[in-house]
């Protein structure tokens, strides 16, 4: 059965972003667009047409990552089950820092002096946007009367720090995860449980 135009566009976009993540992880921000295009199975012009510049490609990678992290906040019924939703959000945070997709953050840190605008873009599109979406979810829980939080953004920061702890530094240093999948699940559930108790009505 032939794919529809939208499906083809989505497949191409995913191929480009997957190839970009691989090539940038291997070769840094100096990686040639030609290599990304070759691995994605598209023309260089296709990448330029979609993203214009490498910085926009990096932004798209970060946005995709944040969409993945925050997906549990948008699941049907998420607001009705805040503890389970927070645990799922925590689990995606732990997953992100344990896989190769964290390479964009490393690259941004390495190039921050020479490319401060890119570093700012990555921060605002990535960690700040993720926390803002969590804060918006917490604000809804306030409105629903399930939690009592005076400053949702601060509470979102507390939750992220509680989940990640030293593991974010380990990821940036390429030391690998110190958690098994089962331990990550337990940590995510424990963080959600403690958070809910701290802000219970």
Q: Which of the four pLDDT bands, split at 50, 70 and 90, describes residue 171?
A: confident
Q: Which of the four pLDDT bands, split at 50, 70 and 90, describes residue 1?
A: very low
d(CA 27, CA 74): 35
Instruction: Read off the pLDDT of residues 52-107 as tens digits, 9 standing for 90 and up.
Output: 888 888 889 889 989 999 999 999 999 999 999 999 999 999 988 876 557 778 88
d(CA 139, CA 176): 34
Q: What's the pLDDT score for residue 99?
A: 66
Superfamily of domain 1-52: Homeodomain-like (1.10.10.60)
- 28 φψ region: left (φ > 0), alpha (ψ -120 to 50), beta (else): left
Q: What's the pLDDT score for residue 100?
A: 56
Q: What's the pLDDT score for residue 101?
A: 56
Measuring CA to CA, how many Å separate 15 from each of 49, 83, 109, 126? 15, 35, 25, 21
- Number of Cβ within 10 Å of residue 145's Cβ equals 8
**Contact between 93 and 27 (Cβ < 8 Å):** no
Q: What is the pTM of this model?
A: 0.86
| Mean pLDDT in residue range 135-147 | 96
DSSP line for 145-192: TSB--S-HHHHHHHHHHHHHTTHHHHHHTT---S--HHHHHHHHHHHH
Residue boundaries of the structural domains of the chain = 1-52, 58-198
Q: What's the pLDDT score for residue 26?
A: 85
Q: What's the pLDDT score for residue 3?
A: 45
The residues with which 147 forms a beta bridge, in sequence order, are 200
Instruction: Read off the pLDDT of residues 3-29 as tens digits, 9 standing for 90 and up.
Output: 444 545 888 999 999 999 889 888 888
Q: What's the pLDDT score for residue 52?
A: 86
The rounded percent of the chain whose pLDDT value lies above 90 is 59
CATH of domain 58-198: 1.10.357.10
Q: What's the pLDDT score for residue 133?
A: 97
């Amino acid at each position: 059965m032939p794919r529809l135009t939208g499906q083809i566009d989505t497949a191409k976009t995913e191929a480009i972003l997957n190839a970009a993540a691989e090539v940038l992880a291997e070769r840094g921000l100096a990686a040639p667009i030609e290599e990304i295009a070759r691995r994605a199975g598209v023309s260089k012009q296709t990448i330029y047409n979609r993203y214009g510049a490498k910085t926009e490609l990096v932004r798209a990678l970060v946005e995709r990552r944040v969409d993945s992290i925050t997906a549990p906040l948008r699941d049907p019924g998420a607001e009705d089950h805040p503890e389970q939703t927070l645990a799922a959000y925590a689990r995606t945070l732990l997953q992100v820092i344990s896989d190769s997709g964290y390479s964009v953050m490393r690259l941004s840190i390495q190039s921050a002096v020479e490319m401060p605008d890119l570093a700012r873009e990555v921060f605002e599109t990535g960690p700040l946007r993720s926390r803002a979406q969590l804060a918006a979810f917490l604000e809804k829980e306030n409105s629903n009367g399930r939690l009592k939080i005076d400053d949702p953004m601060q509470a979102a920061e507390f939750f992220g720090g509680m989940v990640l702890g030293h593991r974010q530094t380990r990821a940036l240093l390429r030391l690998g995860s110190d958690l098994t999948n089962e331990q990550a699940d337990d940590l995510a559930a424990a963080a959600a449980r403690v958070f809910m108790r701290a802000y219970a009505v």
